[in-house]
Chain A
């Protein structure tokens, strides 16, 4: 008996599936893009929502980046009006979770030209979803380098928005952003 249980413990400990969920919530705590990878944890949508709610209320004001909640470790960071969370087992290496979170965030920042905010994420939902798919597969970290993720997602589309049009809208966007930044100073 003791032998068998020992094996089970080792397996759980040594599993590569270190990420239980990756969540993105907006500043009302509503879902933007949430994926749960551990079928044994938070299986029903109802449980997931309740968990997200308690996670959000405990983190949206706090000036920190890690919390233990309901037996799991959550690392998080916020950007404009979004909150990004990576969640792992209570005994998971915290730095590993933080590493995954940073990879995801850096990849998004590169692809969305540093405009990691709800409106842009929503407009580029496909890009964000693909980036997450390239980051984690079934809880296992698939790729750890943000540059590689960007390369995998940034697809050569044959019917993209015309170049000229794109650059104008982007120029407008950048100008608007810088303006608002200088106002805020």
Chain B
């Protein structure tokens, strides 16, 4: 025996060469008398080559393909089967593959059972619609063939071909149904799938299929799994079937196959509105799985539980004992999922114990899983705010360990959201943040932490402590961090709580003027200059961020440069950006598990998928459009319609308001885009009737007095299921006091009946029709952008006193102070400075609201609310100041 053979790493294809194989194939296959053994070896090499991903050029592939067709003369069965495999692979690249159609058709109908199934599958790989009609008769026969392999091959091939050949395959429903009711397990599975896919557009037919099969006699476990999936679809489509199908799922929990039992249990867990009572049997199954010897079963169960724990923490809590045992599981994925589930289901009392269990565990798992754990800890801390001390201690301990940027970022994110959501934790968290800054190896994270410190540390009890830490960064760190530290220091000088530090800060900043980095020097110089100014409002530049979206500012500047004019660029023409209410995702989102906090991190997607399941994977990207991005999108969409005319820059856009129910024939929603002198009503139209094509769709708008319709832009055509937009431009009244009103809408259009399948209209004529939709309100709040002014009192004093309007209101219908506060904020559409946190015993509440009105006038509101007692409502005194009296009056009139 050779040496090569013995050492176990023998590979007969190790030195395989593409061109040599192609050459060899041509020679061996073209011989007059075929040598089966030689051909077998060559085919083996060729398949190895194709499967290992070596790309074959079209010419090479075509030549090889033609050589292979010669082998159809050979009767050797293995060779014939390998030929099929090669044909399937080569058909992806080679030309003229249809020449083997007749050979394959012959094999497909031959007597030899070893050929037939594989021949069908190979044939369907090279077939197209026209050829499929030619072999339709054989396919129908094959589906009901007494040989199960032939039947399965025909059914699976039909599934692959279904996409572009719906019409042909639809004609085989009788044969497919026969296969479904037959005795063969695999054919049942394939036939059920095929029938479902043929019928899936017809909801009624699907329902019939599902309900009949749930009572029927399916024997294949795989078919059962799919039936369970279809049943869940039907339950969601048709609530009337809910109870009947839920019973079916319940029955499946007692199926003899684990596969079916698990599929049914996870189906029940995935149901949107399942009650606590109905989910318990499914959770009991999962509980049993948790102690199974097979690790795949444990994994499956713990993964489903970690998903469902977001929604049913108490119901899942019954499995806590099993989950705690799994923390020691040798499969670290299972251990991680167990931990995250426990963090979701745990009670307050068990938090301390859990945290001690996690700490040693963290060093054993990969960074992807660490991020999942950190996210779960964040949720836990927001759920039990009193536990913030243990959580923060834990976070600061794990932060010192080595870890990737994404992992460290997850930790900083978590501390940030704790700072925002749990006021009691703020001082401790800031301390931790300051420690992080001292030993953080990622400049981007340091810069972020410094920014946070700059915003919040001046309000803490010992601002000077932080100044020392931050200044240390200026001495020790890289330019990015130094620049961030300089900006952070400047904030201490202007914050009312720490303004006594201002002389110190100025001294420190003066030293930064000698920094080696341009950015650091520039920032220091800028802040020194601003700090030396006597005007209060200049200092507001230090605290507040630019209230403009950067892209909008850039676009305005580019526009200005395109049309140079004598007047200087006016910042007031730049659309304002509402401050995102909180820098991070809101607490509600996190609690609901909607937002995987590190969603943007592509690298951790896998780990997130493990924790958050389907929802996390799909939902991460699209949902979280910031207000600024939304605004930019709106502006870009409007800019694409030059026929709207010169309206000037877009001030703001409202959220779309639905004007119809979601299930009606035509679905309409309206977005109001506010410009300085005009409003554009944008209607998004959707036609849900597949037998109609609408043309020239426009909205007839009846305006209140003073408003004038300037332009109506119809949607030229509105085919089924494809949304289109129609616009109405309305000029605002000359009288500046009229700013709001109710507009009634009627949809007018031309209907053409059409073929539901092709969408082609049946005739050219069509008839006019109209459709009444709900009214749309133009409100003051549509025309205000909420803007945060960091120093409310200074901004208030800077506005002219004679613009002040004051009034008292009786809000008789309000049942509580909270309700009144949110209603008033809603009416005015302004930003609420400071966090309104009325406690229950307090019956009075002061509100400070700020924003900018259409045209660019600043608006500030001081409101005092007094709760007079149950049934008597709330009294409110409202004082408005703005750049001019008129605007103040408009704002005051919005309430009431």
Residues on A lying within 8 angstroms of B by beta carbon are 1-4, 6-7, 10-11, 13-14, 16, 31, 33-35, 45, 48-49, 62-72, 75, 81, 90-91, 93-96, 98-99, 117-119, 122-123, 125-126, 129-130, 133, 137-138, 140-145, 148, 152, 155-159
Q: Verify B295–A66 contact, CB threshold 8 A.
A: yes
Q: Verify A155–B114 contact, CB threshold 8 A.
A: yes
Contact of A133 among B48, B85, B333, B605 (CB under 8 A): B85
Q: Verify B13–A98 contact, CB threshold 8 A.
A: no
- Measured CB to CB, the nearest residue on chain B to A80 is B8
A-B contact pairs, 23 of them (CB 8 A): A1-B667, A7-B200, A13-B229, A14-B233, A16-B159, A16-B193, A33-B48, A34-B53, A66-B331, A67-B333, A71-B606, A81-B8, A98-B296, A122-B11, A140-B193, A141-B189, A142-B152, A144-B185, A152-B149, A155-B78, A155-B114, A156-B77, A158-B75
Give the complex CA separation of A72 and B605 in angstroms. 10
- Measured CB to CB, the nearest residue on chain A to B233 is A10
Give the complex CA separation of A10 and B138 in angstroms. 32
Contact of B295 among A64, A71, A137 (CB under 8 A): A64
Give the complex CA separation of A132 and B85 in angstroms. 11
Q: Verify B85–A130 contact, CB threshold 8 A.
A: yes
Q: Verify B156–A119 contact, CB threshold 8 A.
A: no
B715: CB under 8 A from chain A? no
The segment from B37-45, B274-282, B535-543 found at the interface with A is B37-45
Contact of A90 among B156, B225, B300, B613 (CB under 8 A): B613
Q: Verify B47–A126 contact, CB threshold 8 A.
A: yes
B617: CB under 8 A from chain A? yes
Given that A13-B229, A13-B233, A68-B610 are known contacts, is A157 also in contact with B77, CB under 8 Å in the complex?
yes
Q: Verify B222–A144 contact, CB threshold 8 A.
A: yes
List of A residues within 8 angstroms of B229 by Cβ: 13-14
Q: Verify A99–B259 contact, CB threshold 8 A.
A: yes
Given that A126-B47, A137-B156 are known contacts, is A16 also in contact with B330, CB under 8 Å in the complex?
no
Given that A7-B200, A69-B606 are known contacts, is A125 also in contact with B114, CB under 8 Å in the complex?
no
List of B residues within 8 angstroms of A138 by Cβ: 156, 159-160
* Distance of A176 from chain B, by nearest CB (Å): 9
Give the complex CA separation of A159 and B79 in angstroms. 11
Contact of A68 among B37, B114, B266, B607 (CB under 8 A): B607
B587: CB under 8 A from chain A? no
List of B residues within 8 angstroms of A157 by Cβ: 76-78
1/0 contact string of B580-622 vs chain A (CB within 8 Å): 0000000000000000000000000111011001100100000
Given contact pairs A93-B262, A96-B259, A158-B76, a sample of 15 additional A-B residue pairs in the complex whose CB atoms are under 8 Å apart: A2-B662, A14-B226, A14-B229, A14-B230, A68-B333, A69-B606, A90-B613, A94-B299, A95-B300, A126-B82, A142-B152, A142-B156, A143-B152, A144-B185, A159-B37
List of A residues within 8 angstroms of B47 by Cβ: 125-126, 129
* Distance of A72 from chain B, by nearest CB (Å): 8
Contact of B44 among A66, A67, A125, A144 (CB under 8 A): A125
Given that A16-B159, A143-B152 are known contacts, is A126 also in contact with B78, CB under 8 Å in the complex?
yes
Give the complex CA separation of A11 and B232 in angstroms. 12
B118: CB under 8 A from chain A? yes
List of B residues within 8 angstroms of A119 by Cβ: 5, 8-11
Give the complex CA separation of A78 and B40 in angstroms. 28
Give the complex CA separation of A42 and B76 in angstroms. 36
Give the complex CA separation of A76 and B530 in angstroms. 64
- Which bucket holds chain B's interface residue count? 35 or more
B36: CB under 8 A from chain A? yes
Give the complex CA separation of A99 and B118 in angstroms. 23
B771: CB under 8 A from chain A? no
List of A residues within 8 angstroms of B266 by Cβ: 93
Contact of B296 among A72, A75, A117 (CB under 8 A): A75
Instruction: Provide the main secondary structure of the chain A interface.
Output: mixed
Q: Verify B114–A31 contact, CB threshold 8 A.
A: no
Give the complex CA separation of A122 and B295 in angstroms. 30
- Measured CB to CB, the nearest residue on chain A to B201 is A7
- Measured CB to CB, the nearest residue on chain B to A117 is B8
Q: Verify A118–B9 contact, CB threshold 8 A.
A: yes
Contact of B200 among A11, A118, A155, A159 (CB under 8 A): A11
List of A residues within 8 angstroms of B36 by Cβ: 159
Give the complex CA separation of A107 and B791 in angstroms. 75
Give the complex CA separation of A99 and B185 in angstroms. 15
List of A residues within 8 angstroms of B121 by Cβ: 137
List of B residues within 8 angstroms of A122 by Cβ: 10-13
List of A residues within 8 angstroms of B8 by Cβ: 81, 117-119
List of B residues within 8 angstroms of A152 by Cβ: 114, 117, 149
Of the candidates A48, A90, A98, A143, the one having the most CB atoms from chain B within 10 angstroms of its own CB is A90
Contact of B53 among A14, A48, A64, A129 (CB under 8 A): A48
* Distance of B500 from chain A, by nearest CB (Å): 54
List of B residues within 8 angstroms of A31 by Cβ: 51-53
Tell me which residues from 199 to 253 in chain B have a Cβ below 8 Å from any Cβ of chain A.
200-201, 222, 225-226, 229-230, 233, 236-237
Give the complex CA separation of A91 and B40 in angstroms. 40
Q: Verify A130–B9 contact, CB threshold 8 A.
A: no
Q: Verify A70–B259 contact, CB threshold 8 A.
A: no
Tell me which residues from 470 to 487 in chain B have a Cβ below 8 Å from any Cβ of chain A.
none
Give the complex CA separation of A34 and B48 in angstroms. 10
Q: Verify B258–A95 contact, CB threshold 8 A.
A: yes
* Distance of B345 from chain A, by nearest CB (Å): 21
Q: Verify A143–B156 contact, CB threshold 8 A.
A: no
Q: Verify A133–B118 contact, CB threshold 8 A.
A: yes
List of A residues within 8 angstroms of B606 by Cβ: 68-72
B263: CB under 8 A from chain A? yes
Q: Verify B299–A155 contact, CB threshold 8 A.
A: no
Give the complex CA separation of A143 and B331 in angstroms. 30
- Measured CB to CB, the nearest residue on chain B to A2 is B662
Give the complex CA separation of A122 and B47 in angstroms. 12
List of B residues within 8 angstroms of A7 by Cβ: 200-201
Given that A49-B53, A90-B617 are known contacts, is A130 also in contact with B296, CB under 8 Å in the complex?
no
Give the complex CA separation of A144 and B219 in angstroms. 13
Give the complex CA separation of A18 and B875 in angstroms. 63
Q: Verify B48–A125 contact, CB threshold 8 A.
A: yes
- Measured CB to CB, the nearest residue on chain A to B261 is A95
Ranked nearest first, the 6 interchain pairs of A and B with the lowest CB-CB distance are A64-B331, A45-B53, A16-B193, A68-B610, A94-B300, A155-B77
B825: CB under 8 A from chain A? no
Q: Verify A10–B222 contact, CB threshold 8 A.
A: no
Give the complex CA separation of A143 and B486 in angstroms. 68
List of B residues within 8 angstroms of A159 by Cβ: 36-37, 76
Give the complex CA separation of A117 and B53 in angstroms. 22
List of A residues within 8 angstroms of B688 by Cβ: 3
B686: CB under 8 A from chain A? yes
B198: CB under 8 A from chain A? no
Give the complex CA separation of A91 and B610 in angstroms. 9
Give the complex CA separation of A173 and B331 in angstroms. 35
1/0 contact string of B88-128 vs chain A (CB within 8 Å): 00000000000000000000000000100110010000000
Q: Verify B37–A95 contact, CB threshold 8 A.
A: no
B491: CB under 8 A from chain A? no
